[in-house]
Structure 1
Amino acid sequence: MTMTSYPLPRPNAQTRAYWDGAAAGALRYQCCAGCGHVQRIPRSLCERCQSSRLDWKDSRRTGTLLTFTTVHRAPLPAFKDMVPYVIAIVDMDEGFRVMANALPHCRGGLAIGARVRIGFQDVHGMALPVVEAVVEAAA
């Protein structure tokens, strides 16, 4: 797999702090300094009060598995060697959401409602979030 064929995220003004945090091993989320609202995805203004006073906070990196799917057919040639792989959406305890691949060793324990921990995996020099562990099975 060549670096040019693998589609990596492109940090921008709204997401740079997130990706800088990931590179340092921190899962960051955006929170309004005005009203305290946690943004599900980074933006330039608070979606609740429209304030531009947005802070970045470090997450505890635990959350609840909202949904997941197993990909059996690669959508791009760059992913062919990865199939099958699991894509998960996690509602983090702080109120934001993360989409991440699940590492192979924890895929068997995934269930909607399971408590999971997010870590990072280096992919072509960029730290990407991954579901690294199931910390508590779904009830």
Structure 2
Amino acid sequence: MSEAISYQRCAPCGHVWYFVRSFCPKCGAREPVTSRASGAGVVHAVTIVDRAPTPDMKALAPYTLVMVDAEEGFRLMAHGEPGLAIGDRVAGSIVELAGRPIPFFKRA
């Protein structure tokens, strides 16, 4: 299991993004650079999931999902500790939830 949240950056145009791709979604350049994020960020949005989409996740409901603006300049959706609010500074890592590696944020 990965120990850190990874992101990609385009060397030619400087664009950053979260989902792994073989090309830059902004300029189309090939061979982006993959880096580890610090995990630091700010909560952009929060929701509580009561009706989970799978039996594995149903066992964890209710749970918190957050959109986080990472310090490195990308936004990602992740799980978060209960009680997070928009504007909270957070620290993230990869944890195992329902048998899968998932980004997870706690109040910093």
Shorter-chain TM range is 0.7 to 0.9
AA aligned opposite 2:94 = F
- Residue 113 in 1 paired to residue 91 in 2? no
Greater share of strand residues, 1 or 2?
2
User: What does residue 52 of structure 1 align with?
Assistant: 30
CA gap 1:120/1:36 in 2 versus in 1, 3 angstroms? same
4+ residue stretches of structure 1 with deviation over 3 A? 123-126
Q: CA contact under 8 A between 1:34 and 1:53: conserved in structure 2?
A: no
Deviation at 1:40, TM superposition (A): 4.5
Q: CA contact under 8 A between 1:40 and 1:95: conserved in structure 2?
A: no
Q: How many residues align?
A: 108
Q: Which has the larger radius of gyration?
A: 1
Give the distance between the partners of 1:124 and 1:76, measured in 2 at CA. Answer: 10
Q: Which has the higher contact order (CA 8 A, sep 6+)?
A: 2
Query: Among residues 57, 71, 74, which one is paired with 1:93 in the alignment?
Result: 71
CA RMSD of aligned residues (A): 1.8
Give the distance between the partners of 2:52 and 2:76, measured in 1 at CA. Answer: 21
Which consecutive residues of structure 2, in runs of 5 or more, have no partner in the other structure?
none
Q: CA contact under 8 A between 1:41 and 1:97: conserved in structure 2?
A: no
CA gap 1:48/1:80 in 2 versus in 1, 3 angstroms? closer
User: What does residue 39 of structure 1 align with?
Assistant: 17
Normalised to the residue count of structure 1, the TM-score between the two structures is: 0.69
AA aligned opposite 1:87 = L
AA aligned opposite 1:127 = P
Query: Among residues 57, 71, 74, which one is paired with 2:52 in the alignment?
Result: 74
Give the distance between the partners of 1:29 and 1:99, measured in 2 at CA. Answer: 13
CA gap 1:126/1:83 in 2 versus in 1, 3 angstroms? closer
Normalised to the residue count of structure 2, the TM-score between the two structures is: 0.86
Which consecutive residues of structure 1, in runs of 5 or more, have no partner in the other structure?
1-22
AA aligned opposite 1:134 = R
